[in-house]
Amino acid sequence: MKVDLYERIWIWAAALMIIAFLAAVIFSAGSHAVHPPSRIETVDPTKVLTEGEFTQAGVTTREDGSVLVTGLARMFVFTPGVMRVPAGVPVTFRLTSPDVIHGFQIVGTNANAMVIPGYVSQFTVTFDRPGEYLVLCNEYCGLSHHLMQAKLIVEEAP
Amino acid sequence: MSGVELPDRRLEVQHFAVAIAAFGLGAAMAVMQALSRADIPLPMRSEKLYYLSVTAHGVLMALVFTTFFIMGLGYFVARETLGKLEWKGLATGSFWLALFGTLMTTVAILSGTSTVLYTFYPPLQAHWSFYVGATLLVVGSWGFCAVLIRTYVMWRKDHPETPTPLAFHGMLVSVIVWILATSGLAVEVLTMLVPWSLGLIKTVDPVIARTWFWWFGHPLTYFWLIPAYVVWYTIVPRHVEGKLFSDQLARVVFIMFILFSTPVGFHHQFTDPGIDASWKLVHTITTYMILFPSLVTAFTVIASLEVAGRLKGKKGLFDWIGALPWKDPFFASVGLAMLTFAVGGFGGAINAAYAMNAMVHNTAWIMGHFHLTVGTAVALTFMGLCYWLMPRVLGRELKFPKLAIWQPYLWFVGMTIFGGINHVVGLMGMPRRVYSGKFLDSEVAKGWEGMTLISAYGGVILFISSLCFLAVILGTWLWGKEIAPPEVAFSEPLEATGKAGLWDRFGFWTVVAVVLIIAAYAVPLYDLYTMPRFESLPFKPF
């Protein structure tokens, strides 16, 4: 196939750009261990309100100092509605839904996960900046979707 | 096809008419939403109406307007390039079936029983007629696919050596992408949503449903885009009196869309549980592959326009740009659509970035993104093409030519404001699809208020542009002066492709595409189906 010189240069530049993008994506994922929440764990959505860990939604500190937030996203509230966590400590969120799909987005951070009934969403975030954060649902879940929110308070480490 | 006598265009006109009617209704819904998000107190403003209208806008614009327009364009291109259509009865029957399905779904939405948005993720459950109507629309579109394939096969028998006419080459690729895409949708709707909404099965798995949906949802965007590329490659250069810069590369580009359109769906599910991160990374890589044909297109199409300027005697580095007919409504639409796509395309590269996606997932950024891409690159191209098609199909001169010239510029300005500001406010964390952005007067959300107001201004400008478009179309149809239809001519390449070859082997490339899809989806789907799961009962919180 005959390809014009300028077009040939463009094609190589485009290919190199794509390779550079991909290299950056893969390198950052590997070196900083930044992976999207991809937990594979299932739970019965008809039972999460009555039995198991999600009946005790809340914040607990584990033996190694890391923090665990167990939470529920449901029409149209998050439990717990206020989460207090320390700054600079890895915080692991474990979330599920007893009804429809919800989103769990902590505005101003890269914590953003789908919360899907029947599955446990799990991810770990370290908050460096103390302050109050807005947690909101970013997946349409019904007529009061836009009211579904919670508060995350990151406290100065003791 | 020049001359006074008008060939029979009823089939095309029917399709375009449904497309444009859907567009008009969708646009009316849109302006209401843009104002609602800015918390402007409209009469009748309510949550129920807002989410209903988001559903209607998405379905009418993204599924009805696009599909009917592309079917009409496909028939038009087939007739013009291959000389005739086979199986015309099937084409007519498919049209009525698709229209019936569309009406069924539209009624389901407007009745308020199916406010599930155009992504209809279970366990939100719509009325069964919503899913059945959508199914009939898709089945109707399969009839269109069969007609185009049959027409091609019969033409190929008589022309074994001729390369496929480029415009038809692109439309056929779009047909193949649509078949690959809708196979996933068919599994979701036929094995899960329809029986579930009829009460035949009690539960469905939301992650499996999302996986089939996005098997469909991303190639869907190329089903929209490829016909726009057909216009850019094969109609625009001729219209501005240029030549297609590279015929061969255009064919390579189209074939690449067959290969890489579908095995990419997990980039819509990066933050989903139940899917291993390594598969998400695989889909990231395939998604980046699909940037390549669009980058090549940018070169070829712009070079073809430059040829037009050069043929008019322009010699400078950039003065050929000014020599293009920016006051021609068709060219202006396409030129502005391309410009917008350059920005929107790069935004797409961010959405597809495995880790960076978390910053934008389900925020207003995404909504801004697809209004630049499908909402402008594709929709503005189609609107502009209407100005080119109307005289040729109806034999009528454009009515209100001043409105037709203003319309694409208004759209461009409106969308630059609307799309731009929603990218920004999305990065600031505002989610998409919310009735109100106040979040009980949260401090963070206060920072979004001015932005949603600017977005609403953009929405109003877009609505005015839509009204201009509808006025020109209706005016031309009803009162346009009858003229001898101008010639329908496609771009001539600088150098013609001699003989049919590798790039005409559609069957072979489709098989390769199927292999890639299996490689990308077989294992994660097998894992999902075989692991112990707990499925969901239906919910109707609307």
A100-to-A96, A151, B120, B204 alpha-carbon distances in Å: 10, 21, 11, 12
SS3 B161: coil
pLDDT at residue B6, rounded to an integer: 64
Name the CA radius of gyration of chain A, rounded. Answer: 20
**Cross-chain residue pair A40–B285, CB shorter than 8 Å:** no
Instruction: Give residues with Cβ within 8 angstroms of A123, minimum separation 6.
Output: A37, A39, A92, A93, A111, A113
Q: Are B29 and B57 in contact (CB under 8 A)?
A: yes
Report how far residue B194's alpha carbon sits from residue B133's, in angstroms, rounded to the nearest whole number: 10
Q: Which of A101, A88, A85 is nearest to A129 (CA)?
A: A88
- In terms of residue numbers, what domain contains B114? 11-530
User: Is B134 within a domain?
Assistant: yes
Element of type H or E holding B303 = helix B291-311
- For residue A37, cis peptide bond before it (omega within 30 degrees of 0): no
Element of type H or E holding B288 = helix B277-289
Catalytic residue status for B100: no
Catalytic residue status for B370: yes
For A34-78, how does the pLDDT look when each residue is reduced to its tens digit (9 = 90+)? 889 999 999 999 999 999 999 999 999 999 989 999 999 999 999
User: Is B539 within a domain?
Assistant: no
Q: Are A121 and A102 in contact (CB under 8 A)?
A: no
Helix B166-186 vs helix B247-260: angle between axes, to the nearest 10 degrees? Answer: 0
Report how far residue B393's alpha carbon sits from residue A128's, in angstroms, rounded to the nearest whole number: 63
Report how far residue B290's alpha carbon sits from residue B267's, in angstroms, rounded to the nearest whole number: 12
Q: Which of A28, A105, A143 sits opposite B541 (nearest CB)?
A: A143
Instruction: Name residue, tokens 């209208």.
Output: B53
**Cross-chain residue pair B356–A25, CB shorter than 8 Å:** yes
Encode burial over B254-284: b for 16+ CB neighbours within 10 A, e otherwise.
bbbbbbbbbbbbbbbbbbbbbbebebbbbbb
Q: What is the dihedral of CA B506, B510, B512, B517, to 10 degrees?
A: 160
Provide the pLDDT confidence category of residue A3 given band limits of 50, 70 and 90.
confident
Element of type H or E holding A150 = strand A149-155
SS3 B311: helix
Number of domains in chain B: 1
**Catalytic: which of B57, B283, B432, B469?**
B432
- The pLDDT mean for chain A works out to 95
Where does residue B112 rank: exposed (0-12), middle (13-18), buried (19+ CB within 10 A)? middle
CATH number at residue B22: 1.20.210.10
Instruction: Give residues with Cβ within 8 angstroms of A120, minimum separation 6.
Output: A39, A41, A42, A43, A94, A95, A96, B273
**Cross-chain residue pair B295–A17, CB shorter than 8 Å:** yes
Report how far residue B17's alpha carbon sits from residue B67's, in angstroms, rounded to the nearest whole number: 12
DSSP calls for B323-384: TS-TTSHHHHHHHHHHHHHHHHHHHHHHHT-TTGGGGTTTBHHHHHHHHHIIIIIIHHHHHH
Q: Which of B352, B332, B344, B328 is nearest to B376 (CA)?
A: B344
Report A:74-103 residues touching B (Cβ under 8 A): 75, 99-101, 103
Half-sphere exposure of B266 (CA within 13 A, CB side): 28
Catalytic residue status for B539: no
Catalytic residue status for B218: yes
Residue A24 has pLDDT above 80, yes or no: yes
Using a CB–CB cutoff of 8 Å, tell me whether A26 touches chain B.
yes
Q: Which of B121, B286, B185 is nearest to A102 (CA)?
A: B121
pLDDT at residue A149, rounded to an integer: 96
E-strand stretches of A5-145: 58-61, 67-74, 77-79, 82-86, 90-96, 102-106, 112-115, 121-126, 131-136
DSSP state of A143: T
Q: Edge to edge, what strands does the sheet with A82-86 contain?
A: A82-86, A149-155, A131-136, A102-106, A112-115
Report how far residue B64's alpha carbon sits from residue B41's, in angstroms, rounded to the nearest whole number: 30
Report how far residue A92's alpha carbon sits from residue A104's, in angstroms, rounded to the nearest whole number: 13
**Cross-chain residue pair A36–B292, CB shorter than 8 Å:** no
Report how far residue B51's alpha carbon sits from residue B66's, in angstroms, rounded to the nearest whole number: 21
DSSP state of A128: -
Catalytic residue status for B222: yes
Report how far residue B225's alpha carbon sits from residue B70's, in angstroms, rounded to the nearest whole number: 10
User: Is B496 within a domain?
Assistant: yes
Q: Per-block average pLDDT, block size 10, for chain B (542 residues)?
A: 64 97 96 90 90 97 98 97 95 98 98 97 98 98 98 97 97 98 98 98 98 98 97 96 94 96 96 96 95 94 94 92 96 97 92 93 97 97 98 95 97 97 96 91 90 95 98 96 94 88 96 98 98 97 96
**Cross-chain residue pair A120–B273, CB shorter than 8 Å:** yes
Catalytic residue status for B229: no
User: Is B536 within a domain?
Assistant: no
User: Is B206 within a domain?
Assistant: yes
Where does residue B514 rank: exposed (0-12), middle (13-18), buried (19+ CB within 10 A)? middle
Encode burial over A97-118: b for 16+ CB neighbours within 10 A, e otherwise.
bbbbbbbbbbbebbbbbbbbbb
Residues of A in contact with B207 (CB under 8 A): 116, 118-119
> Is beta strand A112-115 parallel, antiparallel or unpaired with respect to A102-106?
antiparallel
User: Is B542 within a domain?
Assistant: no
B431-to-B59, B206, B352, B368 alpha-carbon distances in Å: 20, 21, 18, 11
**Cross-chain residue pair A142–B542, CB shorter than 8 Å:** yes
> Is beta strand A58-61 parallel, antiparallel or unpaired with respect to A67-74?
antiparallel
Element of type H or E holding A155 = strand A149-155
Most B CBs within 10 Å, among A2, A112, A133, to test the B interface = A112
Q: Write down the H helix ranges in B428-505.
A: 443-446, 449-479
pLDDT at residue B1, rounded to an integer: 39
User: Is B3 within a domain?
Assistant: no
pLDDT at residue B448, rounded to an integer: 93
Instruction: Give residues with Cβ within 8 angstroms of B490, minimum separation 6.
Output: B80, B81, B165, B166, B167, B234, B235, B238
Report how far residue B499's alpha carbon sits from residue B496's, in angstroms, rounded to the nearest whole number: 9
ipTM of the complex: 0.96
- Three-state SS sequence of B175-240: HHHHHHHHHHHHHHHHHHHHHHHCCCCCCECHHHHHHHHHHHHHHHHHHHHHHHHHHHHHCHHHHC
**Position B494, amino acid:** L
pLDDT at residue B2, rounded to an integer: 42
Q: Are B266 and B283 in contact (CB under 8 A)?
A: yes
Report how far residue B156's alpha carbon sits from residue B171's, in angstroms, rounded to the nearest whole number: 15
Instruction: Give residues with Cβ within 8 angstroms of B507, minimum separation 6.
Output: none
Q: What is the pTM of this model?
A: 0.96
β-bridge partners, A93 = A69, A123
User: Is B4 within a domain?
Assistant: no
